[in-house]
Amino acid sequence: MSTAVEHPPARGAGNTGFSALLDLVGEPFLFASTSYPDVLVLHFGERRADPPRVIKGREYRHEYGTYSLFVSASEWVVKGGDVAVTNRGHDDTPPFKELRAAAEAAVGPGSRVLAAEPFPVDRPSVIGYGLRVELSNGAAVTVVPTPDDDPHATAPDGIPFAPLADWNLRTPRIELAVYPGRVIRVTERGV
């Protein structure tokens, strides 16, 4: 990664930091994965795999799409056909991996992104940007920022944790991170 551009409170959803969302349009959905803790990752584009690694005697493989959408601790809803899948109110029953599988099926591998549009969210406890992704098979993914119930949390050594992005989009050329308060961070990635 080379440079980062901070966009302080945006003027609106047309903020240029969101131009990367256009890159996602036309890309096929590949699969969904999970990242700790209960982060939904939707992979689009072309499938890639890092070389296998052996860590503590166990083989570790990492596959991903050239475009990846990470939803960290925000609410998401996936609608496809007659099915709606959401993490709203999820309390580990069913296990998150089952939600992931249901979300993947609802989005539909092979369907292509028709639109990826941010939308402002302005509630008493949440000011930020949501995201709606529409797919060619009629499916849609909606991400809605949620309140941070522990905004001043610190590590055991007393150093405050950095703010957590509501969602991130990683593309071959940039990483777009959207934070509470409508702060947008665009980081160029080394290719």
CB of 109 to another protein, least distance (A): 19
CB of 56 to another protein, least distance (A): 6
The DSSP-derived string for 11-24 is SSTT-GGGGHHHHH
Region 36-65 residues binding another protein, contact defined as CB under 8 A:
36-39, 41, 53-56, 58, 60, 62
Residue 126 binding another protein, by CB under 8 A: no
- Cα(152)–Cα(42) distance, rounded to whole angstroms? 29
- Cα(85)–Cα(20) distance, rounded to whole angstroms? 26
Residue 75 binding another protein, by CB under 8 A: no
CB of 138 to another protein, least distance (A): 29
- Cα(163)–Cα(191) distance, rounded to whole angstroms? 27
> Is 140 or 184 the residue whose CB approaches another protein more closely?
184
Residue among 13, 31, 48, 72 that touches another protein (CB under 8 A): 72
- Cα(36)–Cα(38) distance, rounded to whole angstroms? 5
3-state secondary structure 36-56: CCCEEEEEEEEEEECCCEEEC
Which residues sit at the interface with another protein, rule CB under 8 A? Answer: 33-39, 41, 53-56, 58, 60, 62, 68, 70, 72-73, 92, 97, 146, 148-150, 153, 155-156, 159, 161-162, 164, 168, 170
